[in-house]
A and B are shown apart, each in its own frame.
Chain A
Amino acid sequence: MLDDQLSQLKSLARSRIEAAESPEALEAVRIDVLGRKGSLTQISKDMGKLSPEERASTGKLLNGAKQELEGAFETKKARFEAGALSLKLDSEWIDLTLPAPGTRPGSLHPLTQIQHEIEDVFNSMGFSILGGPEVESEYNNFDALNIPPDHPARDMQDTFWLEDGHLLRTHTSPVQIRGMKALPLPVRMIAPGRVFRNEEVDASHEHTFYQLEGMMIDRNVSIANLTYFMKTLLARIFRRDDVTVRLRPGYFPFVEPGFELDIQCMVCGGPGCAVCKQSGWVELLPCGLVHPNVLRCGGINPEEWGGFAFGLGLTRLVMMRYAIDDIRWINSGDLRFLRQF
């Protein structure tokens, strides 16, 4: 008797669950069936009238029916929730192709970037990084570098002289003198920085540009070592496994012997093109073995120690790397240019 009632109730409840069209309607059905006053609850209250044997079997059925209906309610409810969630999420559509609001990322000046790269290369080989003042003494800029007063080599660098008798350094080489005095031997140093030449500005000339000085002093330093360092440096800068360079004589009073280092033109690879003026080579950096007079001015005994020095034109390197055809962009402060880096 109760069993019949139970099976009727169960199939009715199932069809009502099936038919419920909203979470609210489903909840009403649940209360009707499984609530404290619900029909299934009512049946369980009637169980008291049954014999123990009947109670056992009906109880089992009742529990089964309860579990089944609860499962059906949960399934239906989850379906409603999933539907609601997907509706909600769908309404949250965003156009991800719109540009991001807020501040755009900033940029490091290309000179800073290349300077950091070179600093890393040399730092990894134990070279200290030195600075130096923009205003220098005539002694450090010239005399100590084996360029005495009235030496014609002073013409090679048009100098800005200051009213206090000092000058704007014409190269980063005075840091050689500062470095030799400041660092313990053996010396390995580089010094990037701003230098000045009294020249009219045009597309290829600037009165303010950047160089990077390098110097190594040890007991046994040869031209072969210098070439090695220059090749390593240039391969890193130009991101090649190897670069072809050549040394030829060059005159700089603070080195002896002095060289111009040319790199094989990376545009044409040697046969000659407009960039290398048909020569196949591009003049890149002056270098040489440190002149004994310069070592003495740095307080170093040239009979015991020797070394090489080089000067790299950072501004020129930036122009080569990014194919910049007008040097005036570098100090222009024009963000339309600077934001490209």
Chain B
Amino acid sequence: MKFSYRWLAELVPALTADAIEVGRQITMKTAECEGVETHAAHLDDCCVARVLEVEPIPGSPNVKTLTDTGRYGVRTVVCGAPNCRPGLLTAYWPLGKKTIAGIESDGMLCAGDELGVNRHHDLIVEFEAVEPGQPLPGLVPDAVIEIDNKSLTHRPDLWGHVGMAREVAAHFGIALHYPADLSVLPQGPPLVHVSIENLDLCPRFSAVMFENVKVGPSPLWLQYRLQAAGINPINNIVDITTWVMAELPQPLHAFDADRVVGQRLIARAAKDGETMTALNGETYQLDPSMIVVAGTDQVLGIAGIMGGQASMIHDGSTRIIFEAANWHPASVRRTSVKLKLRTDASMRFEKALDPENTIRGLARAIQLMRLCCPGAKLVGGLADIYRPLIAPDPIDLPLDWLAAKLGTTIDAETAAGILLSLGFGVAVHPGRLVVTVPSWRATKDVSVKEDLVEEVGRMIGYGSIAPQPPLMAVTPAQPNLLRKFQNSTRRTLVDLGFDEVHNYSFVSDAEAHRFGFPLERHLRVRNPISEDQALLRVSLIPKLHLNIEENRKHLETFRLFEIGQEIHPRSGELPDEIPHLAAAVFARDDGAAGLAELKRAASALMPGVEFQQASDPRVFEHPARIANVSWQDRRIGRLFEFHPSFVEQGRAAALDIDLRLLQETAAAVEKRYSPVGRFPSSSFDLAVVVPPRTSAGDVARELPGAEFREDFHLPDGRRSLLFRVTLSAPSRTLTGDEIANARKAAIDRLRSKGYDLRD
């Protein structure tokens, strides 16, 4: 939102601070000022000039003039405007000498765009009743104070200059000049007839009518002011509506009264199948969720958003209706979203404007008509239909409560003074204030005493509140075991040489498909940024794979991991989010070392972890290099090598662990001391001869406590797995017989399971 400093200064006549200081005060006490920029600084150098002589330049559309500039003397100025003629009073800008069409031109005669008044370029501006050398009437350099719209979301009143001027007046402790004069509103029966179908959706609808209207350009000062506030001037009638919107802020709409059948306007819901061609030339399909302003024959405007072409003001309009309404904010917002049509009016209405503003807006329009369209005649009285306005309950503000919230002392006089300066009504009682909220702050903005803490706090300045540690009960923080566990998991992996990465939660359909995760098991984003970010991941693996593919372009070997959430949809409730650890090792080798490293990592996380060779390869897994990971008899993850077709120029091993299961399992593990034997232990070795594809883990399960020693490949293709069994007793040395019996028992068990043993 752009604010003209001059406009504010007109509304706060005693203002002496410059635009920079005003911007600073606004930032510290009201809303975020994003910057202050000077507007049309060159107007100080420009002045009124009279064209004395005009001489054509052969072969050029331009003319050579002798121009009396008053303060700069008589100068030769080349001008290309068709309205350049002797005797014309126009604007001169001494911006240096320049040769145009072979003639040296000293400065220029200015069109509206060159002065920053409007966007017209063809004709130079024209003045009356001024003298050469005088400053341009109503055109002085301005400054534009730009405010972040987000910081105005809760303040409908600040979407106009009056609201901001009221703040500025309060910042500096000076008075606001309110521009609308309700006494100009016409009395008597109206000639424009308005009706409201649903007072909830349209709490107020007001209108006045003018005759003898002459549509034409607005005075330059008015155009210039609108331009400074970022609004493009159109014609006097439209400019009046935008002025009132930018000032009060009440959006108005002007209808050509002769195009409104019977001068009847109805605020009602649209009907199915109705359409309207709006001022922007687009035709909109309407439905009953939308409110419209309609004539008896057709829709004339989409309420609070945009008017229609059918009844729009045109150059020949002579009778006009100014309509000022108050619309239900959520309804305007929903319609605006549905039609993808946001306008200056809809942005204001959706913030919940003050219903009392409709007649203020019309009063201001009547005042401006006198300046911009002097011959026009107000006909009939004010049409004004509204839901009775219910004054909000006063807010009880205990002063000690206020001080406790602020964390500083505050006296009744200061607090009351601040609230009064902002337009609140205040009754001072012992120890408390009873505060009445003004109508322009009562719509969704101020309703509870907490809101008043802000009003007082920001105006005394938050900087005046000294930081203070709270007095609080000493209570311990609740432990977060999962988080703690994840942190130690991270630490462990980093110690083992893994780098931590963060990946997106999104995957594409193509990725899900490539990795064989069924599309229907994913939660889908309804409005993705792009199609390749449309699904929420059910596995960390696709992005882990992407990490491998990206990093192998730069690195020979690397280890990385991510701890992130798998997101599995559940019907009727939030999805199940399961924290997972995904780790990978990439190297340009045969892949075995990477798998070994990941096994070591798993062992570091889960002492005693077991791996079961698996034979159910997923599409991205190396079919002969997969194992299920289990711990404490719970299956907890998967170890695998990526299928070589998934990884170019190297091998990548991966580990995928369910951290929620892991943490639950870890929490259930209770460590207990077992006595260290004081008597010598004895051991014997067993060499189990197995077919080549036998898992050592399966053999080891038959030999609890045995330690794996070696894996020999025999000439006949079989393997010999060497285990060492160590035995001891807590209170004595085992006898030779006992050991021999144990050995025999172990051998028998292995044989019974079908294993051969080497002698």
User: Interface residues, chain A, CB within 8 Å of chain B?
Assistant: 103-109, 111-112, 116, 123, 126-131, 133-137, 149-153, 155-156, 160-164, 166, 168, 183, 186, 188, 194, 196, 198-201, 207-208, 216, 218, 220-225, 227-228, 231, 246-251, 253, 256-260, 289, 291-292, 306, 330-331, 333-336, 338-339
Contacts and interface: CB of A to CB of B under 8 A. Distances in A.
A32 B559 CA distance: 68
Contacts of A108: 490-491, 494, 500
Contacts of B465: 222-224, 227, 247
Interface stretch (B266-274, B502-510, B684-692, B735-743): B502-510
Interface stretch (B241-249, B357-365, B447-455): B447-455
Interface string B10-29: 00000000000000000111
Given A224-B466, A227-B467, A248 B28 contact: yes
Contacts of A257: 450-451, 453-454, 457-458
A152 B333 contact: yes
B551 interface: yes
Nearest to A149: B330
B450 A152 contact: no
B468 interface: yes
Interface stretch (B431-439, B523-531, B711-719): B523-531
B471 interface: yes
Contact of A225 (B155, B469, B559): B469
A112 B490 contact: yes
A291 B543 CA distance: 40
A133 B154 contact: no
Contacts of A250: 32, 151
B483 A291 contact: no
Contacts of A131: 480, 482-483
A53 to B, nearest CB: 60
Contacts of B571: 164
A298 B151 CA distance: 26
B351 interface: yes
Contacts of A199: 529
Contacts of B503: 331, 333
Contacts of B528: 160
Given A152-B351, A162-B525, A224 B501 contact: no
B575 A135 contact: yes
Nearest to A222: B407
B355 interface: no
A123 B475 CA distance: 11
Contact of B527 (A150, A198, A208, A292): A198
Given A105-B497, A135-B567, A227-B465, A123 B477 contact: yes
B536 interface: yes
B463 A247 contact: yes
Contact of A126 (B28, B476, B550): B476
A155 B18 CA distance: 33
A338 B476 contact: no
29 contacts: A105-B494, A107-B499, A126-B474, A126-B477, A128-B480, A133-B577, A134-B577, A150-B350, A152-B350, A160-B526, A166-B574, A208-B505, A222-B404, A222-B406, A222-B407, A223-B408, A223-B462, A224-B408, A227-B407, A228-B467, A248-B27, A251-B153, A257-B450, A289-B405, A333-B501, A333-B543, A335-B501, A336-B554, A339-B499
Contacts of A289: 405, 450, 453
A240 to B, nearest CB: 15
Contacts of A198: 527, 529
B478 interface: yes
B472 A160 contact: no
A139 to B, nearest CB: 11
Contact of A128 (B330, B477, B498): B477
Contacts of A291: 450
Interface of B: 27-32, 150-155, 329-330, 333-334, 350-351, 404-408, 448, 450-451, 453-454, 457-458, 462-463, 465-478, 480, 482-483, 487, 490-491, 493-506, 523-529, 533, 536, 543, 546-547, 550-551, 554-555, 558-560, 565, 567, 569, 571, 574-575, 577, 597
A338 B500 contact: yes
A220 B499 contact: no
Nearest to A224: B407
A228 B502 contact: no
A251 B407 contact: no
B472 A338 contact: no
Nearest to B156: A152
Contacts of B490: 108, 112
B536 A135 contact: yes
A195 B474 CA distance: 32
Contact of A156 (B150, B496, B523): B150
B498 A223 contact: no
A207 B529 contact: yes
Contacts of A105: 494-495, 497
Closest 5 CB pairs of A and B: A224-B407, A222-B407, A257-B454, A103-B497, A150-B330
Contact of A109 (B500, B524, B525): B500
Given A134-B567, A194-B505, A250-B32, A218 B554 contact: no
Given A135-B536, A153-B153, A208-B505, 14 more contacts: A107-B499, A109-B500, A126-B472, A150-B329, A162-B525, A164-B575, A166-B574, A166-B575, A168-B505, A194-B505, A221-B470, A251-B31, A253-B154, A334-B551
A131 to B, nearest CB: 6
Nearest to A261: B462
A260 B31 CA distance: 10
B529 A200 contact: yes
B501 A228 contact: no
B296 to A, nearest CB: 31
A156 B574 contact: no
A78 B438 CA distance: 105
A162 B450 contact: no
Counting chain B CB atoms within 10 Å of each CB, the highest count among A129, A224, A249, A331 belongs to A249
Given A134-B565, A186-B475, A292-B448, A220 B404 contact: yes
Contacts of A222: 404-408, 465, 468, 470
A106 B154 contact: no
Contacts of B494: 105-108
A316 B500 CA distance: 19
A256 B451 contact: yes
B527 A164 contact: no
Nearest to B554: A336
Contacts of B30: 249
Nearest to B551: A335
A162 B524 contact: yes
A306 B505 contact: no
Contacts of A116: 487
Nearest to A103: B497
Nearest to B154: A251
A224 B462 CA distance: 9
A129 B484 CA distance: 10
